[in-house]
Chains A and B, each alone.
Chain A
Amino acid sequence: MDMVMLSRIQFASTTIFHFFFVPVSIGLALIIAMMQTMYVVKGDEQYKKMAKFWGKLFLINFAVGVVTGIIQEFQFGMNWSNYSRFVGDVFGAPLAIEALAAFFMESTFIGLWIFGWDRLSKKVHLVCIWLVAIGTTLSAFWILAANSFMQRPVGYQIVNGRAEMNDFFALITNGQLLVEFPHTVFGAFATGAFLITGISAYKMLKKQDTEFFKQSFKIGIIVAFVASFLVAIFGHQQAQYLVHTQPMKMAAAEGLWTTSDDPAPWTVFAAINTDKQSNKYEFKVPYALSFLSYSKFSGEVVGMKELQAEYEQKYGPGDYIPPVKTTFWSFRIMVLAGTLMILLGMYGVYMMARKKLDKLKPWYLNAMLFGISLPFIGNTSGWVMTEFGRQPWTVFGLMRTEDSISPSVTAGQVLFSTISFTTIYSILGILAVWLFVKVIKKGPNAVDQAHTVKANDPFAREGQQ
């Protein structure tokens, strides 16, 4: 396998794996902070128990997120040194700020939160978890500012063949960022919320600690519904933005080889043939693509063949069509997952509003358990669509993926690192899930075995009276 492909596999596996844990951290931090706020405001011990129980899952998850994040930062220099040289001036800044502004904050205050239950006043301790929540969200802002530059480069000029920053404000008000950040962050909130509601639903089904999990479900389902709904709203915004800034990605996501009619129908399903550049068995909904692209029921959408001709003129000869099938299907999987999330959330909120949570049927509780996987599917396929759809570019219109790799690194080295990292990821993934299950099985009332003191030390008794 060649270097470009290996480097891409490594990047994809690292990023996808890392992004299983990141949204859970962002989402859980917010919801735990909400629970603990209820505890401090109402003084009800039940909420403290909630913050502690969900906090256990949060910490297992956070640890994996943190350690895989280190690779995330190092791999640009390791595997993509040409890219780093070319854009470091612009791209490095948000990464450095992410570390300074967000990583320090979340890592310090998570330490204070874990170890500070008995050492800090209630209010200060509450501030700590909120700062963790703000830190994780800030960190998403900065890394997405960097990613948005790759999707739509702004605030730079080319000097001596390198991109140099000339407008920091443009970088952090990048139109792409303004739609990508809320879309991603609400997706993360939904991920945490579906995790909590899914586990709660399972426990309610099993009739274990029902009251505790019903309370958790209540908080979670509101976040789940509101966040899923907002994900869709900002997703729609992003699609409209895409039509203008990365029309090729949009055309690929729609499997649109030639420019559409006006009004444009939306292809729900198609068998795509990339060699013949045509589709079979298309199932189309009239007007829908026009609405998706422009929020009105008219307007054509430009197809890939036309764009290819346009880009050849602009950027020289080359293949500017991204992997169409991957882009097309990942988009549909994402939309389907999102739709199911909204429906599940809506029904849950409806039942809660009618005070019928005790009467939730097993089919719904089981569906919510399965629902835990939906945000993960949505997040992953969303990123696959975004990053595959940008190909052949790393920075759209500026730098190609094949030119971005490290010239001094050999394919063997990348193969070695890819195998090592993916092995570690698999082990970590299995362990994290196993520990999750263990904590969930024990439930909120279990006395932590590992934390009880064994009196095998003759001096152990002193000070205990």
Chain B
Amino acid sequence: MELSELWFVLVGVLFVGFFFLEGFDFGVGMSTTFLAKTDGERRVLINSIGPFWDANEVWLLTAGGAMFAAFPHWYATLFSGFYTPLVVVLLALIGRGVAFEFRGKGETEAWKKTWDVVILLGSMLPPFLFGVVFANLLQGLPIDKNMEMSAGLFDVVNAYTVVGGVTVTVLCLVHGLLFATLRTTGTLQERARKQAKTLLVPLAVLFVAFAIMTYTMTDIFEARGTILTIMAVLGAIAFVLSGYYMSKKRDGWAFAMTGTLIALAISGVFVGMFPNVMISSIDSAFNLTVYNAASGAYSLKVMTIVALSLLPFVLGYQIWSYFVFHKRVHEKEHLEY
């Protein structure tokens, strides 16, 4: 395997990590509006992700940094090409981050209500827009021979990409509700489980719709039909199992299953694209690939050494932090946020 291929895998792993982890805190963020009924419940939910959301977001930063270092052309084309959606993502992430910190620092109703709206939008827009962007990656984009992408609004926003965006958003919401079942108690926990279960039907519809559209509207199945079909079947099994575990109230397993589903969906995008990293709808000769978008061999070697020696530590202390905060959050205890 060439190093550029290894880095393609690493970028994929970082995005999977991002969606798996930040996915649940996006979901919990949305549930502060959809699930919580009282201010106390809202605070319990926010505190349940309190110690984690910041580190989860770093997965996105690292994925961006890894793209910059290992695939400068991919980073440059993608980030400049999706300029406006990314501005919105950034605004949303800014609002959300400070909202968690600021919300509990004021006393008035208006203050809290305002931040609740910011948390909702900040937790809903990023997964939606990332879903749109990933669907676009599969669909192909107007990229010219200089690797410049100049897409109009309707190149980026169409039925397929919107379905992709909504699917990711709902998936994150279910994943987040299941995370909430792991860190809350009593009626809040029960309602979270119930809501997650109710959302399974629309989620199934979205997934099937997206799969069919991917099959008919993109050509990724042509190149990798077998492996993608296997992944789709595994995804379906994980989906059914998550529903099964929900009804058995085995929340940990249900959460693991939606996590598996996220991992399969995101890695499916990477499997489907390979060896392309951005597909040109103008001419396949203009595709950005793992090879023509990558950094030089030396740079990749240095980055590989650095990444492989640091990642075990990162994973180690992140897992430890989840272990430290495994206890459930109660309304009666001291709440930081």
Contacts and interface: CB of A to CB of B under 8 A. Distances in A.
A60 B84 contact: no
B147 to A, nearest CB: 8
Contact of B68 (A92, A164, A457): A92
Given A162-B72, A406-B76, 12 more contacts: A71-B90, A81-B148, A82-B76, A92-B75, A92-B295, A96-B307, A104-B58, A115-B50, A408-B80, A413-B83, A420-B91, A451-B336
Contact of A60 (B58, B86, B102): B102
Contacts of A165: 295-296, 298-299, 302
Interface of B: 40, 50-52, 54-55, 57-58, 60-62, 64-73, 75-81, 83-84, 86-87, 90-91, 93-95, 97-98, 100-102, 104-107, 146-150, 295-296, 298-299, 302-303, 306-307, 310-311, 314, 317-318, 321, 324-325, 327, 330-332, 334-336
A315 B235 CA distance: 58
A396 B6 CA distance: 33
22 contacts: A67-B93, A69-B61, A70-B61, A74-B64, A74-B90, A77-B78, A78-B79, A81-B80, A84-B72, A88-B69, A88-B72, A89-B69, A92-B70, A96-B69, A96-B306, A99-B61, A104-B314, A111-B321, A112-B51, A114-B336, A118-B334, A165-B302
Contacts of B298: 164-166, 168
Contact of B94 (A416, A428, A450): A428
Interface of A: 59-60, 62-64, 66-71, 73-74, 76-79, 81-82, 84-85, 87-93, 95-101, 103-105, 107-112, 114-116, 118-120, 159, 162, 164-166, 168, 406-409, 413, 416-417, 420-421, 424, 428, 431, 435, 438-439, 449-451, 453, 457, 460, 463-464
A73 B61 contact: yes
Contacts of B335: 451
Contacts, number: 245
B80 A115 contact: no
Contacts of A68: 94
A424 B94 contact: yes
A101 B83 contact: no
A159 B334 CA distance: 58
A289 to B, nearest CB: 40
A77 B68 contact: yes
Contacts of A96: 62, 65-66, 68-70, 303, 306-307
A84 B79 CA distance: 10
Contact of A67 (B50, B70, B97, B150): B97
B306 A108 contact: no
A241 B100 CA distance: 44
Contacts of B40: 457
B2 to A, nearest CB: 16
Nearest to A142: B65
Contacts of A464: 332
A118 B327 CA distance: 12
Contacts of A85: 72-73, 76, 147
Contacts of A66: 54, 57, 97
B271 to A, nearest CB: 23
